[in-house]
């Protein structure tokens, strides 16, 4: 649903009187914001229809070098040669305009390749001389360790220098420098030939345009794809065609030029990856709800490619992992079997494994976190070895073949600190916005950019969306603060005041403006369950506990005469008014009042808490089964999650099959939460003389079962329940509960795992700043765009 429909009414929400002029100004501003949203949305939607890639001077030069089939003295593709003549940069180089300062070597390589193409056809002497001056001025960057080397640079660059010398080009390179480059190349070649690994062979084939005089190009053709290309690389394919005259190579080159015009990108096609990456970015930035139809269309198409085992997915571990993760998380039935082809040893022996590509490792790790079947051992192993590689500070996988290092470090740190099951959407959205590189440059054998992979339009929409939602949430939080005072909940001295955290957990997961009722319900019931928990735990007598439960059972009571204490009156009145409010709001979405359902949910919770209080009063030690059967209810997620189901949109019935599925979802979620709580709270509760799952396992273990044994066992149960919950949420066949409703259980699971994280989790100060990041501190767009203004986007072609 478009945010614009929720913008204009906001001007009417105010905690104080305002003048007519101020109100009108707000309306005008909101209307302008809505129009801005609409325009930005349309531009982003259009990006789904086409993938645009920057032109590669490097690859275009190799295509331009191909002689005509009718005359060896004329180019096969003269349009490419003309493009080179027309697109030299002011500084004499060829390549991306305003290239990143760490990509001088990329500019050197592209410039040298373009000089060779012009020299081969005896044209553009002035441009060649300007290019040679650029090389002379920047050659020292070759020995600068901070510079990013394109893939194969140490092999290709010295080889092209040798070729230039054979053509009689007077390169401004000293004999010592050239000798050092050649020795470095030869050492790399020697190590590779000695290893004789499949990864090395694939790498050598990929950079074969730099090995024309020493490589049997017929061996390269084993890597030819169905589209005729070698690695989807125009440069590699052009070099192979020039020497082997392979018809499929020619067909590929012609198809690329047919799409792109007079020049070629450095990789083609990139459609599957680019569109998946675009969806992934929209989800991470929290604006995917604006593009539901476009995303659905792309995922449907990707699923067809998956079933067809398309090369663009299955020949690339990065794309394969991304497609698997996104398809599975969106309910498509995809098997994890393809990852047997990317097991630890096989990946290490592949091209991306040889290149130490952390981007591929990162995507494989993300994919491993969506295990939903008990027999997916391949994903368990994949999670282990990819995580270990990502964690190693000295790992060789700190080299990046596709992005500049400083931008990937943020991704690696983020995915390690916040696994999928503990990654609250709004926290992820904020981090992703703040780390978003709107003018991202990627590097293969040369650098490239694509508006589909990163652009300012997406960033602007993400910032505006975040700040708009935050402004709405600020008003809701003030409203809730008044409710606590009006309900006198702040007068209960025994009760913890956790409004900020309760509302944070709802705002960080149910952040869309149209989910306001669900957010309010979630937060109010979160506050009330905390109060009721403290009431049964430390704030009441047995008489008061019985009184509260009886009031809930009778419901229609005289609120002035039936309370045995002021605390009971305050709690019952607050719970009752909240339940009635939810019932009234449910009529609009459900077509019925669900008040009775919510009363039952609250009664189940209070009775379970009373049972625990009785165990404590009578010093009863329950069996583990009895404890867990009661404890998953007393953990108090029922009133928070279950009433919100009626307020997120889809209709729910009281059908037995639907209720059974909801019960399974609830028990699976709550069991994990209870065990997370009991493990972390074991020390404190033991000191207070209270029993929980950890202490009960040790008590019933007759002194043989240790704390470590127990926690290891319970962590296994938590993991099993977490995977089962994800399976239930993603399951479509045989499911009666709408996906939007099932998602609430997984959202709560994320909240629980975040709040109960240890080691690299949150301290109280970190949690305070985290709450502020979602609810209080707006994102300043201008600060994010400072660097972007220094690097305007390059010319791009639609492919």
Write the pLDDT tens digit of every residue in 625-657.
999 999 999 999 999 999 999 999 999 998 888
- Alpha-helical regions (H) of 145-226: 153-166, 175-195, 198-206, 217-220
- Report yes or no on 90 lying in a domain: yes
Q: How far is CA 343 from the centre of its chain?
A: 23
* Structure confidence at residue 16 (pLDDT): 36
d(CA 636, CA 655): 24
Residues in Cβ contact with 484 at an 8 Å cutoff, skipping those fewer than 6 apart? 490, 497, 499, 527
Shared domain for 486 and 385, answered yes or no, is no
- Report yes or no on 10 lying in a domain: no
Interaxial angle between packed helices 764-775 and 456-486, expressed in degrees from 0 to 180 and rounded to the nearest 10: 110
What is the pTM (predicted TM-score) of this model? 0.91
Domain count, the chain: 3
Write the pLDDT tens digit of every residue in 678-714.
999 999 888 888 889 999 999 998 888 999 999 999 9
- Report yes or no on 12 lying in a domain: no
Q: What b/e sequence results for 554-587 when a residue is b if at least 16 CB atoms lie within 10 Å of its CB, and e otherwise?
A: eeeeeeeeebbeebbbbbbbbbbebbebbbebbe
Tokens coding 406: 């400083």
pLDDT at 555 over 90: yes
Domain containing residue 80: CATH number? 1.50.10.160
d(CA 265, CA 254): 13
d(CA 280, CA 347): 23
* Structure confidence at residue 675 (pLDDT): 97
Shared domain for 441 and 552, answered yes or no, is no
Last residue of a domain, one of 260, 295, 311: 260
- Report yes or no on 17 lying in a domain: no
Q: Taking residues 466-470, report their average pLDDT.
A: 97
Shortest CA distance to 527 belongs to which of 486, 565, 556?
486
Shared domain for 244 and 278, answered yes or no, is no
Shared domain for 144 and 70, answered yes or no, is yes
Shared domain for 343 and 406, answered yes or no, is yes
- Report yes or no on 49 lying in a domain: no
Shared domain for 471 and 451, answered yes or no, is no
- Report yes or no on 438 lying in a domain: yes
Domain containing residue 368: CATH number? 1.50.10.130
Q: What is the DSSP string of 311-351?
A: HHHHT-HHHHHHHHHHHHHTT----SGGGGGGSHHHHHTSH
- Which of 225-234, 388-397, 410-419, 771-780 has the lowest average pLDDT? 388-397
Shared domain for 302 and 252, answered yes or no, is no
Last residue of a domain, one of 212, 231, 260: 260
- Report yes or no on 790 lying in a domain: no
Last residue of a domain, one of 404, 430, 460: 460
Q: Taking residues 215-221, report their average pLDDT.
A: 83
Shared domain for 564 and 595, answered yes or no, is yes
Q: Taking residues 425-451, report their average pLDDT.
A: 94
Shared domain for 396 and 374, answered yes or no, is yes
Which DSSP state fits 793? P
Q: What is the DSSP string of 593-658?
A: --HHHHHHHHHHHHHHHHHHHHHHHHT----HHHHHHHHHHHT--HHHHHHHHTTSSS-----HHH
Shared domain for 236 and 276, answered yes or no, is no
Domain containing residue 592: CATH number? 1.10.600.10
> Mean pLDDT in the chain?
90
* Structure confidence at residue 218 (pLDDT): 80
- Report yes or no on 19 lying in a domain: no
Shortest CA distance to 430 belongs to which of 74, 798, 775, 63?
775
For the ranges 9-18, 696-705, 782-791, the one whose mean pLDDT is highest: 696-705
Residue 317 pLDDT level (bands cut at 50, 70, 90): very high
Following CA atoms 706, 369, 281, 317 in sequence, which dihedral angle do they give, to the nearest 10 degrees? 140
d(CA 145, CA 139): 13
Shared domain for 556 and 669, answered yes or no, is yes
- Which of 8-22, 220-234, 336-350, 472-486 has the lowest average pLDDT? 8-22
pLDDT at 104 over 70: yes
Block residue for tokens 């306001």: 516
Shared domain for 450 and 475, answered yes or no, is no
Domain extent, residue 348, equals 270-460
């Amino acid at each position: 649903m478009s945010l614009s429909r929720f913008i204009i009414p906001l001007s009417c929400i105010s905690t104080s009187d305002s003048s007519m002029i101020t109100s009108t100004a707000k309306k005008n501003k909101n209307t302008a914001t809505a129009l801005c949203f609409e325009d930005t949305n349309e531009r982003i939607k259009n990006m789904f229809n086409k993938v645009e890639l920057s032109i590669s001077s490097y690859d275009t030069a190799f295509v331009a070098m191909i002689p005509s089939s009718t005359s060896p003295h004329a180019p096969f593709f003269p349009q490419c040669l003309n493009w080179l003549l027309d697109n030299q940069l002011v500084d004499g180089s060829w390549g991306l305009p305003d290239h990143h300062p760490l990509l001088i070597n990329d500019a050197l390589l592209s410039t040298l390749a373009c000089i060779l193409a012009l020299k081969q056809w005896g044209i553009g002497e002035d441009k060649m001389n300007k290019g040679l001056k650029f090389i002379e001025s920047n050659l020292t960057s070759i020995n600068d360790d901070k510079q990013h080397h394109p893939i194969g640079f140490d092999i290709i660059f010295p080889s092209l220098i040798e070729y230039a010398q054979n053509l009689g080009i007077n390169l401004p390179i000293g004999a010592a420098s050239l000798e050092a480059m050649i020795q470095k190349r030869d050492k790399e070649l020697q190590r590779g030939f000695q290893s004789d690994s499949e990864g090395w062979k694939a790498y050598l084939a990929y950079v074969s345009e730099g090995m024309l005089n020493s490589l049997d190009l017929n061996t390269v053709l084993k890597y030819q794809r169905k589209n005729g290309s070698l690695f989807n690389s125009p440069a590699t394919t052009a070099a192979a065609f020039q020497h082997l005259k392979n018809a499929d190579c020619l067909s590929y080159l012609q198809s690329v030029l047919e799409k792109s015009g007079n020049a070629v990108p450095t990789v083609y096609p990139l459609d599957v990856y680019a569109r998946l990456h675009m969806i992934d970015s929209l989800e991470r930035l929290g604006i995917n709800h604006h593009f539901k139809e476009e995303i659905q269309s792309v995922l449907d198409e990707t699923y067809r490619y998956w079933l067809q085992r398309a090369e663009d997915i299955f020949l690339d571990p990065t794309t394969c992992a991304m497609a698997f993760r996104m398809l599975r998380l969106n309910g498509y039935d995809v098997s994890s079997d393809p990852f047997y082809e990317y097991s630890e040893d096989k990946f290490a022996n592949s091209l991306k494994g040889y290149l130490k590509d952390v981007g591929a490792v990162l995507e494989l790790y993300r994919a491993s976190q969506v295990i939903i079947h008990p027999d997916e051992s391949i994903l368990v192993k994949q999670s282990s070895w990819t995580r270990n590689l990502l964690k190693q500070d000295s790992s060789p996988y700190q080299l990046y073949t596709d992005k500049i290092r400083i931008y990937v470090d943020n991704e690696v740190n983020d995915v390690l600190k916040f696994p999928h099951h503990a990654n609250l959407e709004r926290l992820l959205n904020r981090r992703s916005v703040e780390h978003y590189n709107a003018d991202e440059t990627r590097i293969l054998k040369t650098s490239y950019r694509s508006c589909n992979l990163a652009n300012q339009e997406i960033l602007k929409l993400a910032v505006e969306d975040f700040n708009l939602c935050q402004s709405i949430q600020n008003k809701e939080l003030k409203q809730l603060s008044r409710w606590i005072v009006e309900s006198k909940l702040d007068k209960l001295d025994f009760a913890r005041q956790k409004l900020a955290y309760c509302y944070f957990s709802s705002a960080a997961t149910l952040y869309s403006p149209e989910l306001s009722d669900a957010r309010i319900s979630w937060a109010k019931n979160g506050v009330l369950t905390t109060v009721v928990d403290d009431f049964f735990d430390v704030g009441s007598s047995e008489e008061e506990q019985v009184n509260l439960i009886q009031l809930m059972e009778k419901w229609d009571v005289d609120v002035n005469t039936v309370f045995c204490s002021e605390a009971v009156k305050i709690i019952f009145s607050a719970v009752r008014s909240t339940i009635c409010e939810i019932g009234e709001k449910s009529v609009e979405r459900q077509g019925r009042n669900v008040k009775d359902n919510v009363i039952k949910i609250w009664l189940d919770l209070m009775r379970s808490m009373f049972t625990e209080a009785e165990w404590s009063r009578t010093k009863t030690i329950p069996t583990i089964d009895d404890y867990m059967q009661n404890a998953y209810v007393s953990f108090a997620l029922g009133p928070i999650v279950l009433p919100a189901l009626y307020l997120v949109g889809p209709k729910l019935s009281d059908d037995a099959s639907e209720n059974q599925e909801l019960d399974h979802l609830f028990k699976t979620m709550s069991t994990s939460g209870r065990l997370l709580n009991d493990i972390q709270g074991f020390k404190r509760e033991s000191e207070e003389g209270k029993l929980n799952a950890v202490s009960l396992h040790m008590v019933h273990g007759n002194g043989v079962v240790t704390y470590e044994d127990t926690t290891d066992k319970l962590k296994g149960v938590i993991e099993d329940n977490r995977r089962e919950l994800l399976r239930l949420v993603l399951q479509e066949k045989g499911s009666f509960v709408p996906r939007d409703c099932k998602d609430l259980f997984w959202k709560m699971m994320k909240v629980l795992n975040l709040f109960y994280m240890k080691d690299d989790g949150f301290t109280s100060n970190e949690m305070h700043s985290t709450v502020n990041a979602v609810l209080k501190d707006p994102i300043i767009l201008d600060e994010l765009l400072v660097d972007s203004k220094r690097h305007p986007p390059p010319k791009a072609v639609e492919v």
